[in-house]
A and B are shown apart, each in its own frame.
Chain A
Amino acid sequence: MTTNVALMPAVDTPPESNRSRVDASLGMALFIGSWAMAFATMFLAFLVLRQRQEVWPPQGVALPSFAMAALATVVLLASSVTMHRAVVLGARGERGFARWWSATLALALGFAAIQSWLWVDLWGNGRLPHSGVYESTFYGLTWFHALHVAVGLIALIVGLIGIARTRYGAQHMNVPRNIGVFWHFVDVVWVVLFVTFFVF
């Protein structure tokens, strides 16, 4: 294991034990399970309402751009890859930690921009939340997901500050690792949303 001394924490906090790593991961896993139930509820509502509609998606009106949604999916999946890379390098105490983490943050911001474009585009075409079931579910689900993206963005920024101040590193990975877990979860939810909303 190559440990970069320059990236070791300057502060005198003791290294995290394997035990505290399991504690934190278990807590995070339970949080993710709970969030998954919240999203499952949203998807249940969406799928029930959708199968009631005779025509889906609605015909003869502007729809959210499939191409842009697909691009958003690619960007988000890429951010999951960079996040994974960052956490692996961070645990090894290597320099790439901060770089890959920043790349994740950049991709996350890119996703937020595309998502905003999707909303503005649809809104500009006169399709508002109260226009119909399609719009209700589209805005409802994407807003709820975007809320989690926003939380993820804040966590990514907080994580980056911590990395810059060498608060996180090879011996202090609990927080970055769990931010990573949360970010992967946000990605998975988007993929489900993309598949159920745009593909089928």
Chain B
Amino acid sequence: MSHDGIHPEPTSFLRKHVFSVDHKVIAKQFMWFGLVWLLIGGLMAMMIRWQLANPGEPFPVLGKLLWPHTEGVISPDVYNMLFSMHGTIMIFLGLTPLLIGAWGNYCIPLMIGARDMIFPTLNMLSFWTVVAGGAVGFYSLFVPLGALEAGWTGYPPLSSTVGTQGSGETLWAVAVFLIGASSIMGGINYITTIVRLRAPGMTWGRMPLTVWGLFFTAVLNVLFLPVIGSAMLLLILDRVFGTQFYVAATFSSGGGGDPILYQHLFWIFGHPEVYILILPAWGIVGDLLSFYARKPAFGYRVTVGAMFAVTVLSALVYGHHMFTTGLSAMLGESFMLLTMIISVPGEILFFNWLHTIWKGSLRMTTAMCFSLGVIFVFGLGGLTGLYLATISTDIFLHDTYFVVGHFHLTMAASALFGAFAGLYHWMPKMFGRFLDERLGLLHFWTTIVPLTIVFCTMFVSGYAGMPRRYADPTSAPYVAELQGLNTITSIAAFILGAAQLLFAYNFIKSRWWGKKCTEDNPWQVGTLEWTIPSPAPHYNFKEIPTVVTGPHEFSHPALGPDRDWISQTEPLPGTSPEPSSPAAPGAPVTA
């Protein structure tokens, strides 16, 4: 346990860069880890799209290296592994480390005015546990009989020893367990830090929305990651020790378990997981829209309330993933109703975002573009969600490309855009260098246009009946007719993939050779991380700041004509400064 998260600056290389307990270093570790895995998962997406556009054609260049026995052709079982591991990698090893690991670690202490996380060693452990999970997952790609083939959800009996032999599937379960443990450690750290280490005056009502989003995510992580952990343990027991938790009662298997039980356990976790990924993005967007529109965040308290409502509701809707399992009609209708209710706080968030930018003086930086992009892609994804929440339409759309388009827009694209917005925004504070804005805007447009085409054509092909997870869409006559749409999707996907290489180039170039940020506050915003030098020094704050203003006091009339922003540590002109806090710096403040 550290005393207020303070520890001396390490001197050895290992302590400084590898086994660091500094939240800023851990954030960067999480960021690199997530970016590398996004690249691997993205490459798998390219292979999937290649197969769907040109079934039976060898994958160019890499194909012959990876699958010499088929001369580069993606065989059906390899195709199964690709889409299964693509989902697992993107969710657990790409977006989770990037959004929650990197932005959670970086932003929480800096934005609430703390010197570090409250449990720095636990924080380090959290990172190295996810590395262990990633290593096991990576190793599972190369074991005999291959990796997970049952889809990222790993439903039995496909994922039982009846469905998949070999150790790949077991190792996948171990990896998910480890990654879950890492998220729990992170979540406990985030919650305790936010509750206990807020600077004097940083009341709950003055916290930036980013911190609120990360806080709710941490709560969901702590509550629901253990559920998937236990579900994975039972799957491992079934596979290794022959227990019968998920083995259906049939004469030949002699089991008395239930594969549907797994689906319940998986989705009790799985639906909150969607919001685990999207809440930090919502928080970041809520802040950045206000920062770059130079206006206060509209309805700050209502936005927080809506995020809280979504957090609660997210735990009550998982049954909408299981409408086709023979769920009782009453349960199904309850889940349908509860799912529909989520759109109410969802709409509130949208209206608040739109009101925030309404008549603002928008600064169209790349970070702002990606924030607006989140509104756009999440809007598309949210609207199509209504069709999937409705039992009568979901029965027909279940397991089609409609679903694939829907969840990619909501949890994948929105979360990714939120992470990108954060990267372009906090890069100067993290590394003391800006990302190239020209390349950034090019990256934005070459991302959002093909991305919209990719997932919207999926809506069309899915509505026409194209099923998920078919290795060869030309094999069934009615699906073969949709091959034109599949080809359009794939071409757009390749452009989308290439655009990410543009980002990789920009990131590497800017990280080491980009334009230097010499100011503390290049974006002219009020939150606490911009009151200290860029890049942030080892101890973050020389003195723990005293907060007297909200995070989004832009264009306040009292500020006069020359300046449109005010730091959270400055009182608004004309208002009497708050009575100075009697508590010592670093002492807890209750709202």
Residues of A whose CB lies within 8 Å of any CB of B are 17, 19-20, 22-24, 26-27, 30-31, 33-35, 37-42, 44-45, 48-49, 52-53, 128-130, 132-133, 135-137, 139-140, 143-144, 174
Select B222's contact among A17, A34, A44, beta carbons within 8 Å.
A34
Considering the complex, which residues of chain B in the window 243-275 have a beta carbon less than 8 Å from any beta carbon of chain A? 243-245, 249, 254-258, 261, 264-265, 268
Interface residues on B, range: 35 or more
In the complex, the answer to whether A133 meets B256 with C-beta atoms within 8 Å is yes
In the complex, the answer to whether B243 meets A27 with C-beta atoms within 8 Å is no
Chain A residues near B348 (CB-CB < 8 A): none
In the complex, the answer to whether B222 meets A41 with C-beta atoms within 8 Å is no
In the complex, the answer to whether B195 meets A37 with C-beta atoms within 8 Å is no
Binds A, one of B13-21, B226-234, B473-481, B495-503: B226-234
Given the contacts A45-B261, A49-B245, A52-B256, A37 and B223 also touching, CB distance less than 8 Å: yes
- Check if B196 is an interface residue, CB within 8 A of chain A: yes
- Check if B581 is an interface residue, CB within 8 A of chain A: no
13 new A-B contacts, CB < 8 A, other than A19-B196, A40-B227, A136-B243, are A26-B195, A35-B226, A37-B226, A42-B230, A45-B234, A53-B256, A129-B241, A130-B244, A133-B255, A136-B244, A139-B241, A140-B233, A140-B243
Of A24, A33, A40, A41, most B-chain CB atoms within 10 Å: A41
- Check if B342 is an interface residue, CB within 8 A of chain A: no
- Measured CB to CB, the nearest residue on chain B to A44 is B265
- Check if B518 is an interface residue, CB within 8 A of chain A: no
Given the contacts A49-B257, A139-B243, A140-B245, A23 and B226 also touching, CB distance less than 8 Å: no
- Measured CB to CB, the nearest residue on chain B to A20 is B1
Cα distance A133–B244 when bound, in Å? 6
Instruction: List 16 contacting pairs A-B, 8 Å CB cutoff, sorted by A.
Output: A19-B196, A30-B187, A31-B188, A34-B226, A38-B226, A39-B230, A41-B229, A45-B230, A48-B264, A129-B243, A130-B241, A130-B244, A136-B257, A139-B243, A140-B243, A144-B233
Chain A residues near B254 (CB-CB < 8 A): 132
- Check if B191 is an interface residue, CB within 8 A of chain A: yes
A-B pairs with beta carbons under 8 A, tally: 113
A52 vs chain B, min Cβ distance (A): 7
Chain A residues near B243 (CB-CB < 8 A): 129-130, 135-136, 139-140
A198 vs chain B, min Cβ distance (A): 19
B108 vs chain A, min Cβ distance (A): 15
Chain A residues near B184 (CB-CB < 8 A): 31, 34
A17 vs chain B, min Cβ distance (A): 8
Given the contacts A19-B588, A24-B1, A30-B222, A38 and B229 also touching, CB distance less than 8 Å: yes
- Measured CB to CB, the nearest residue on chain A to B5 is A23
Given the contacts A133-B244, A133-B255, A20 and B3 also touching, CB distance less than 8 Å: yes
- Measured CB to CB, the nearest residue on chain A to B196 is A23
- Check if B537 is an interface residue, CB within 8 A of chain A: no
Cα distance A98–B586 when bound, in Å? 35
Chain A residues near B459 (CB-CB < 8 A): none
- Check if B93 is an interface residue, CB within 8 A of chain A: no
Select B258's contact among A23, A27, A48, beta carbons within 8 Å.
A48
Cα distance A29–B311 when bound, in Å? 20
- Check if B107 is an interface residue, CB within 8 A of chain A: no
Chain B residues near A41 (CB-CB < 8 A): 226-227, 229-231, 265, 268
In the complex, the answer to whether A23 meets B118 with C-beta atoms within 8 Å is yes
Cα distance A52–B260 when bound, in Å? 13
B319 vs chain A, min Cβ distance (A): 15
Cα distance A172–B234 when bound, in Å? 39
Chain B residues near A22 (CB-CB < 8 A): 196
Chain B residues near A137 (CB-CB < 8 A): 245
Cα distance A49–B244 when bound, in Å? 10
Considering the complex, which residues of chain B in the window 198-226 have a beta carbon less than 8 Å from any beta carbon of chain A? 222-226
